[in-house]
Amino acid sequence: MHYAYRYRLHPTEAQRETLEYHLDTCRQLYNHALTKFEQIPESSGTLKQRVRQVRDRLPELKDWWDDLNDLYSTVSQTAVMRIEDSVTAVSQLKQNGYNVGSLNWKAPREYQSFTYTQSGFEFDKKNGQTVLSLSKLADIPIIRHREIPDTVTIKSVTVKKERTGEWYASFAVDDKEEPAKPDDPQKCIGIDVGILKYAQDTDGRAVGFPDLQDNRDRLRREQRALSRKEHGSSNWEEQRQTVAECHQTLRRKRHDFLHKLSNYYATQYELVAVEDLDVMSMLKSSGNSRNTALAAWDTFTTFLEYKCKREGTYFVEVEPSGTTKQCASCGVRTDKPLWVREHSCPACGFKMDRDANAAINILSRGFKKRGLGQSEETPVETALPLFTSSGSVDVMDGKRVIETGSPTLRERTAKAVSE
C-alpha cells in the first residue's frame, strides 16, 4: 500500500529564497522539456519512451544551462517525467467527455512543488533540532509530529509551497502490508449523506455539519477587500495571502472533520456501504450546488475508501438511484418531495426517518453487491399509484403487495432498525 507522511517545514529567510530558486528552475525546465516533447512525433514510441527521450538529453542541457547544475539529478529528472502524468491526465479528461486542449507552459503560480526520488534526502539533528537535509539545497528545520515506521521504505520526498507561503514535505512510503478482510463481516453499516444532516447511518447515528459559518463570513469579507485592491500591487499581494489563509483554515477544519468521521467508520465496522454519487453533475445544477460543494462528499468517500483499505474493512459503493424512494421494509417505491423528511410507506405502513430509510437501502444494496444475503426473487419495480379511492375510504391496490428481497437481508436490516 502507498502512504504519504506530511510535515511542516520552517525554512529561514535565506532558505526560502533558495527553495524559490530551485522551484522556479524546475518550472523552467518543465516548460523547456514540454516544448521538446511536442516536437517528437508520436510514431517514435510510446508516451513513456518519448518522455524518456527528453529526459536523456539532460546532460546536454547542463552544458549550456548552468542553473541545472544547482539541481540534484533526480529532481531534474522528475521535473521532466511530470510531463507523462500531465499528458495522461489530459487524455483521461478527454475520454470522460471534457473539452480540454493541449498542455501549456506553467506560470509560477501553477508550479508549486519538486520531488527527490530514491536518494538526496535524510533526517538529521543539528543544533538540537530535527532538520531535513536536501542535497544541493539546505538543511531545513522540520516538525516531525509523528514517526515514520522503520518497517516501511521511503520512496520519494516532495517539497511543496502552499499559496499561503508555507512549505511542506511529503514522504511517500511503500511496502506497507494491507490487512486481510474478513470472510463473513458481522459489523456492517450503511451511510446516507445529505444536506440537512451530513450523514445518517443504519445504527441510528445522525452526524451534523461542522459549524464553519464564522470562517465563511470572514472569507467573504477578505475577498471583498481583495477586490478593492489594485491587482498586482503590494497591498493586493498581502491581501491575496490573507484570502489564501482563510481558504486554508476552512479546508483544514473540513478535512479534520472528514478524517475523524471516516476513520471512525473504517475502524469500528467490517463493511461500510455508501452511495456512488456523481458529484460533478450535481454541482452543475442550479438548485443546491453551493451546499453540495461545501459538503465535500467526494472527499469523504475518498478518505473513507483508503482508510477502509488500511484497516481491512470492505468499502462498497452502490447505485444511489431510488434509495430515498424505496421502502426498506417491502421494497415499494414512492415519490416524495425534498421537504418531506419522514418515510411513510403506503403499501406496508412502515415509518421511519427519510435518511435512515435510505441508509438501510444502501446497506441492503451493499450486501447484494458483496454477495451477502442475495435472493433469487424478482426485484420490486415502481408501478402505478399505491391507493385507489372508494368513496371516503382508501383501498390498497392488491397488485402492489409483492413479497421481495432476501429473508436473510430483511432479518439483518430489521435488526439494525431495532437497535
pLDDT digits (tens, 9 = 90+) for 203-258: 888 888 888 889 989 999 999 999 999 998 999 999 999 999 999 999 899 999 99
In this model, does residue 333 exceed pLDDT 90?
Answer: no
SS3 380: coil
- Once rounded to an integer, what is the mean pLDDT over residues 319-337? 81
Name the residue among 416, 351, 345 with its Cα closest to residue 387: 345
Q: In this structure, are residues 40 and 53 in contact, taking their beta carbons and an 8 Å threshold?
A: yes
**pLDDT of the residue at 393:** 33
Q: Read out DSSP for 54-84? A: HHTTHHHHHHH-GGGGGS-HHHHHHHHHHHH
**Of 269 and 180, the one with more pLDDT:** 269
SS3 388: strand
**pLDDT of the residue at 375:** 37
Q: Read out DSSP for 172-208? A: EEE-PPPPPPPSS--SEEEEEE-SSSSEEETTS-EEP
Q: What is the pTM of this model?
A: 0.72
**pLDDT of the residue at 402:** 33
pLDDT digits (tens, 9 = 90+) for 387-399: 333 333 333 332 3
Rg over alpha carbons for the chain, rounded to the nearest Å, is 27
Q: In this structure, are residues 111 and 30 in contact, taking their beta carbons and an 8 Å threshold?
A: yes
**Beta carbons within 8 Å of 379's beta carbon, 6+ residues apart:** 331, 404
Rounded Cα gap, residues 37 and 87, in angstroms: 11
**Beta carbons within 8 Å of 168's beta carbon, 6+ residues apart:** 6, 7, 8, 9, 159, 160, 162
